[in-house]
Amino acid sequence: MSDVTQLLNSGDAFRHSDAGANELLSLIYDELRKLAAHKMAHEAPGQTLQPTALVHEAWLRLSGSTRQSWNNRAHFFGAAAEAMRRILIDRARRKLAARHGAGQERVNFDEIDIAAPSADEELLAVSDALERFEKLDPAKAQLVKLRYFAGLTNEEAAPLLNISVPTAKRWWSYARAWLYSNLQR
């Protein structure tokens, strides 16, 4: 059993001491940073949010919830992926809010080109479609969250969901097709 799983299985003991929380963070920080960096690599150029900030915000959301507990490593990383997804969605919505410029893009006058489609609008569309898909098939939706928002491969996500890699590949193909057809509407 890994150190992370042991800490998570010890109940909420790590929440009641800074030493326990620091120990857990030191064990998972590199993995969370890698996932955040992978996700941020797909964000629009000029993004001001850095992977480190995304990890810290996700950690604050996860550790700040006194009622939250995790059963195992897979449950924790699923919660971390969901926290990162919600942070990115909230950020995209805030950017598109009328009081924040209603989707206006920053322009670098040194590099004036034809405007590209907004990555924030695409992220919101994917999130909305994923919420509809989650009502139909929560297990496959969890795979999408791990693949799309956390940047995991099928080989990395399959053990977290307790499924085989071939099953993960089938689920991923189905979920992509479903999402694609629903994003075209």
Closest CA to 76 of 138, 2, 19, 153: 2
Instruction: Please write the tens of the pLDDT for every residue from 134-183.
Output: 999 999 999 988 888 788 889 989 999 999 999 999 999 999 888 888 88
- Phi–psi pair at 5, nearest 5 degrees: -60, -40
Distances from the Cα of 79 to the Cα of 27, 85, 170, angstroms:
16, 10, 23
Q: Where are the domains of the chain?
A: 3-103+117-183
Across all residues in the chain, what is the average pLDDT?
A: 76
Please, which contacts does 100-107 make with residues 24 or more away whose CB atoms are closer than 8 Å?
106/46
pLDDT of 115 over the 70 cut: no
Mean pLDDT of 73-96: 81
Longest dimension (CA), the chain: 55
Written as six digits, the tokens of 10 are 């010890």
Which one has a higher pLDDT value, 92 or 144? 144
Give the whole-angstrom CA distance, residue 40 versus residue 54.
9
| Rounded (5°) CA angle 63-134-61 | 10
State the sign of the Cα–Cα–Cα–Cα dihedral 13, 19, 23, 26: positive
Written as six digits, the tokens of 4 are 């992370």
pLDDT for 166: 95
Give the whole-angstrom CA distance, residue 178 versus residue 8.
34
